[in-house]
Structure formats: structure tokens, C-alpha cells
Amino acid sequence: MNLLFVCMGNICRSPTAEGVMRQRLRETGLAEVITVDSAGTHNYHPGKAPDARTQKHAALRGYDLSALRARQVVDADFEHFDLILTMDWDNQSLTESLCPSAHSKKVRRLAEFFRKHPDTVVPDPYYGGPEDFERVLDLIEDGVQGLLAHCQRRLDASGSAGSTL
């Protein structure tokens, strides 16, 4: 099972989601079954590490994002990934416009998996303050928990790591 998290530049929200999900997968023993990556709809920061503020706030919660590097969504992603999880409506629209119709059901918002928060998006913290980066972490942790439960149900139902998301 392969998951891709998508935001605009792949330096704040999507690498945070990738890092949080990677940690949860290690904790649950699913790191060998579910693979995770992140990408941006725009090629603003190719090869760059996540934003320093993103890394700082993630580290305060025990997530190490330092090895992650920004990249842009590519055509092969739509074939490879079972779920492509966008952070907001703009990312959703842009990702859908790039996605071949055969794979359109793979594109969903991470907010669809929130369990505690009524929000419909993970807002971009880039121009905000520390509280915005903390809010993003709160939302992503919530979404990752719901997404992990969704993935576990699918794995249990299929009896394998097949693309039955």
C-alpha cells in the first residue's frame, strides 16, 4: 500500500504528514507494508529540506523531518500510489487536474480522515506564526490517526497490502 501526501511546495504540510505517518507506521509495525512519500503541486523548492520552522515544531513532538526533500508531483505518482492525500482545496483541484481519470478516485483530502477536528483542510502555515505550525501538527496528527485506521481496515479486509483503498 502506497500513500502520497501533497501540498503546494512540499516544505511544510506534506513533509509533516509524511514524517508523522512514517513514525506511526513504525510504532504499529506497518512500516514494511505501507510506504509513504510527499510531493508538491508546484516545483518551488526541488531538493530542499522542509522549512526550518516546520522541522522545529515537528521535532518538539518527536518527528524528525531532516532527511526529507521536496519534489513535485509527477505523472508516475498517479499510477504508483494507492491514495494521494491533499492538504487543501487548491492542492486538491491542481492534483485532480493532473490526474488521469482512471486514477481520480485515489485523490482525497487528508481532512476527510480527521476524527476530532471539523476543519475541511490543513491550512498553509508558511506565512504564519508558531501557533500556525502547531495547528498544522494537531490537524495532521488527527488525520494520520484516521488514515491509519482506514488503512488497517483495508489491509484486514484484503488480507494483504494490495491497492484496495
Is the pLDDT at 110 greater than 50? The verdict is yes
Report percent pLDDT > 90 for the chain. Answer: 93
Residue 47 lies in a domain: yes
Residues with Cβ < 8 Å from 159, sequence gap 6 or more? none
Catalytic, 135? Answer no
> What is the overall mean pLDDT for the chain?
95
Annotated catalytic residue: which of 77, 88, 124, 142? 124
Question: Starting from the edge strand earliest in sequence, which strands make up the sheet with 35-40, in order?
Answer: 35-40, 2-7, 83-86, 107-109
Annotated catalytic residue: which of 12, 13, 82, 88? 13
State how far Cα 105 lies from the chain centre: 16
* pLDDT the model gives residue 158: 81
- Tell me the CATH number at 16: 3.40.50.2300
Catalytic, 124? Answer yes
* pLDDT the model gives residue 82: 97
Q: How far is CA 3 from CA 14, 44, 61, 81, 144, in A?
A: 11, 22, 22, 6, 11
The span from the CA of 81 to the CA of 165, in Å, is 10
Residue range 87-100: average pLDDT?
97
Which band of pLDDT confidence, cut at 50, 70 and 90, is reported for residue 163?
Answer: very low
Catalytic, 108? Answer no
Residue 78 lies in a domain: yes
Is the pLDDT at 164 greater than 70? The verdict is no
Residue range 128-138: average pLDDT?
98
pTM given for the model: 0.95
Cα dihedral 42, 49, 24, 63 sign: negative
Q: Taking a C-beta distance cutoff of 8 angstroms, is the pair 58, 16 a contact? A: yes
Residue 165 lies in a domain: no
| Beta bridge pairs of residue 84 | 4, 107
Residue 54 lies in a domain: yes
Residue 164 lies in a domain: no
* Number of domains into which the chain is organized: 1
Q: Taking a C-beta distance cutoff of 8 angstroms, is the pair 68, 89 a contact? A: no
Tens of pLDDT along 43-73? Answer: 999 999 999 999 999 999 999 999 999 999 9
Range of the domain at 20: 2-158
